[in-house]
Amino acid sequence: MNNKLNLVELEGISDSINAETESQRLASLSSITGKATNEFNKWRQDILNNIALLTIIIDFAEDQELDKNKMLFNSVDTSIRELDKEIRNYLFKVRSSEILLKGIQLVLLGPPNAGKSSILNILANKEAAIVSDIAGTTRDVIDIPLEIQGYKVVLGDTAGIRSLDNADTIEKEGIKRAKAKSLSADFIIVVLDPTNNDVLDLKDHLKELIKLDKKLVIVLNKQDLHEGDQVKSQEKQ
């Protein structure tokens, strides 16, 4: 109202106040310092210039040399292509900073009893999920926000993927949610227990994730229980 700050700068201040991590605070700076405002103003000016040049062509084309019209048109063409590139770059950056705000969605996925909940508890540094040797203990998706090297990461624990034939109604729903969660994740940690070969039911879902180009890493858990040889025979399958 007093012409001191515009809406973009105010949004930046709000983002800065609400920042949970260093990377989120840094992302808010381009709005506060007026960098984003300058960029928007430049686009506005470029668009106005192009409209003016196109108006000249429309209104006076017949009175001018053909070469001159061509020159004006080429200059508009170049400017619009440049604008298009700049706006696309900006949108790409916005999408990246949206990930910073929402947090990187990291999901633990695997068969029951592989040790997913144990890993979640260690990374979260608290007993957030129930760990037990009863298959099908975790049903709901458990999301724990973490800060890893300045980045907000939301770590999700999921129900173990196994054949629906052995699962009751609630576990079936849990398995459905686990699959959906991994489809929307930014990064998936597939936890396997190499002493247990029961990964058949997970295989199809992994194939789907790989087809979708999902980033995932496979963790062979329970190192204390297996010898090198057993891990090797698992890798061959």
Ligand X SMILES: Nc1nc2c(ncn2[C@@H]2O[C@H](COP(=O)(O)OP(=O)(O)O)[C@@H](O)[C@H]2O)c(=O)[nH]1
Q: Does residue 116 interact with ligand X by CB under 6 A? A: yes
Q: Which CB sits closer to Mg ion, 31 or 138?
A: 138
Q: Does residue 194 interact with ligand X by CB under 6 A? A: no
Q: Does residue 138 interact with Mg ion by CB under 5 A? A: yes
Do 120 and 144 meet the contact criterion of CB atoms below 8 Å apart? yes
Q: Which CB sits closer to ligand X, 39 or 201?
A: 201
- Quote the CA–CA distance of 116 and 110 in Å, as a whole number: 7
Question: In this structure, is the dihedral angle defined by the CA atoms of residues 5, 11, 14 and 20, taken in order, positive or negative?
Answer: negative
Question: Which range binds ligand X by CB under 6 A, 22-30, 77-85, 94-102, 129-137?
Answer: 129-137
As measured in angstroms, the least distance from the Cβ of 175 to Mg ion is 12
Distant-in-sequence, close-in-space partners of 165: CB < 8 Å, separation ≥ 6: none
Question: Which range binds ligand X by CB under 6 A, 38-46, 116-124, 197-205, 212-220?
Answer: 116-124
Q: Which CB sits closer to ligand X, 112 or 156?
A: 112
As measured in angstroms, the least distance from the Cβ of 212 to Mg ion is 24
172-199 b/e with 16+ CB inside 10 Å = b?
Answer: bebbebbbebbeebeebbbbbbbeeebb
List, in sequence order, every residue forming a beta bridge with 107; answer none if it has no partner: 156, 188
Question: Which range binds ligand X by CB under 6 A, 130-138, 145-153, 182-190, 227-235?
Answer: 130-138
Strands (E), the chain: 104-109, 142-148, 151-157, 187-192, 216-220
- Quote the CA–CA distance of 228 and 223 in Å, as a whole number: 9
Q: Does residue 117 interact with ligand X by CB under 6 A? A: yes
Which of 117, 121, 182, 221 lies at the binding interface for Mg ion (CB under 5 A)?
117
Q: Does residue 227 interact with ligand X by CB under 6 A? A: no
Q: Does residue 214 interact with ligand X by CB under 6 A? A: no
Pairing of strands 151-157, 216-220: unpaired
- Point out which residues bind ligand X (CB under 6 A): 110, 112-118, 131-133, 137-138, 160, 221-222, 224-225
- Point out which residues bind Mg ion (CB under 5 A): 116-117, 138
